[in-house]
Amino acid sequence: MPELTRISIVAPCYNEEAVLGTSIPKLIQLLDDFVVHHGCAPSSFAVLVDDGSRDSTWAIISDAVERYPGRIHGIKLSCNAGHQSALLAGLTYVTGCCDAVISIDADLQDDLNALPLMLEEFRAGAEIVLGVKTARDADPLFKKMTAALFYKGMRWLGVDLVENHADCRLMSSKALENLAKFGERVLFLRGLQPLLHGKIKTVSYGISPRLAGESKYPLKKMLALAWNGVTSFSVTPLRVISWLGGGVFFVSFLFSLHAFFSVVQGEALPGWASVTIPLYLLGGAIMLAVGIVGEYVGKIYVEVKGRPRYLIDAVVARDVGGVTEND
Ligand code: UDP
Ligand code: MG
């Protein structure tokens, strides 16, 4: 008999009292479906992470833990740490105790029918399966436009992101273990996925409107997330300053030469060169210096993130009389 897959579902919840009454039974139904129709272990479970909510979210989660013993687990964060941190708390909690985890928003805007497809891709060998929104009809126009702009900008900065993938994804236990090796504090989980190694697949689906309540991602939080994405994955903005500094310095040097020869040939007004040469040269030198400092800051930034230098996919070895022979 093939081994059953123990699956877990992680959903961060911030002030979600309006949706949890509907979401929790739907998640239980989904788990049942996984067990009955998709070869998942009856011990599969969902983890609801309360991200410092101020409404009755935690009371609802605690109640669900009692009502569905073993199937709903609750984690309460002491304050609003943000969606990415809440998600990480859930992922860390399930690391080592499931074969695969699916992360999903508590408002269940993502199409639940896509989840069994993710499981199929996982069974076919994918370590990570990214949910990709095809139609974003349920999103306001402003969100659609800013999202498109963000993905274009990230591509220009050389960051490997799958367009329209938010944080609905399946990760294998191996991908979870690899994620745990990344020491960075500022999180942008979707940017980390390509760095976790292993086969990545995508599953497309449409999104529906929020079940109830308002978006917990106001413009301020969206901008903060986008900025974290840029600054956590690209040193290009610093490099642009370096190149600009080099360019400005070169042009100012030419201008200074021109000013100098104008003086030598007696074509310059008295006092003009002594003002313009330091102005050009100093301006250029300052830009160049900022660029060089930026390069070092870039190196510090890479170091402090403490990302693993490598991740091992597999080790093969044969033990021959006490001596290990590598394949
Ligand atoms: N969320 C969270 N902490 C926050 C903001 C949001 O845990 O500080 C959760 C929220 O409860 C939801 C998910 O993140 O489960 C996505 O938020 P939302 O659905 O409001 O975002 P949108 O779909 O509007 O982008
Ligand atoms: Mg939502």
Decide if pLDDT at 276 tops 90: no
What pLDDT shows up at residue 272? Answer: 77
The DSSP bridge pattern shows strands 45-50 and 7-13 to be parallel
What's the pLDDT at 323?
Answer: 57
The atom number, within ligand 1, closest to the CA of 143 reads: 25
Tens-digit pLDDT profile for residues 236-263: 888 888 888 888 888 888 888 888 888 8
Residue of 22, 107, 167 to mutate, ligand 1, most atoms within 8 A of C-beta: 107
- Ligand 2 (ion): residues with CB under 5 Å are 105, 107, 109
Question: How far is the C-alpha of 232 from the C-alpha of 188, rounded, in Å?
Answer: 7
Please tell me the distance from the alpha carbon of residue 37 to that of residue 44, in angstroms, as a whole number: 13
Question: What is residue 322's predicted lDDT score, i.e. its pLDDT?
Answer: 62
What is the SS3 string spanning the chain? Answer: CCCCECEEEEEEECCCHHHHHHHHHHHHHHHHHHHHHCCECCCCEEEEEECCCCCCHHHHHHHHHHHCCCCEEEEECCCCCCHHHHHHHHHHHHCCCCCEEEECCCCCCECCCHHHHHHHHHHCCCCEEEEEECCCCCCCHHHHHHHHHHHHHHHHCCCCCCCCEEEEEEEEHHHHHHHCCCCCCCCCHHHHHHHHCCCEEEEEECECCCCCCCCCCCHHHHHHHHHHHHHHHCCHHHHHHHHHHHHHHHHHHHHHHHHHHHHHCCCCCCCHHHHHHHHHHHHHHHHHHHHHHHHHHHHHHHHHCCCCCCCCCCCCEEEECCEEEEC
Mean of per-residue pLDDT scores for the chain = 89
What is the model's pLDDT at position 54?
95
285 vs 52, which has greater pLDDT? 52
Hey, what are 156's tokens?
A: 């220009």
Percent of the chain with pLDDT over 90: 49
pTM above 0.90, yes or no: no
Instruction: Report CA(97)–ligand 1 centroid distance (Å).
Output: 25
Lowest-confidence segment of 123-132, 217-226, 282-291 by average pLDDT? 282-291
How many whole angstroms from 105 Cα to the centroid of ligand 2?
6
- For the cut 60, the answer to whether the pLDDT of residue 18 exceeds it is yes
Does position 312 have pLDDT exceeding 80, yes or no?
Answer: no
Residue nearest to atom 3 of ligand 1 (CA): 83
Tell me, in angstroms, the distance from the centre of ligand 2 to residue 297's CA. 36
| Res. 84: pLDDT tops 70 | yes
Ligand 1 binding pocket includes 43 (Cβ within 6 Å):
no
Does 325 have pLDDT greater than 60? Answer: no
Which of 19-33, 34-48, 177-191, 312-326 is least confident? 312-326
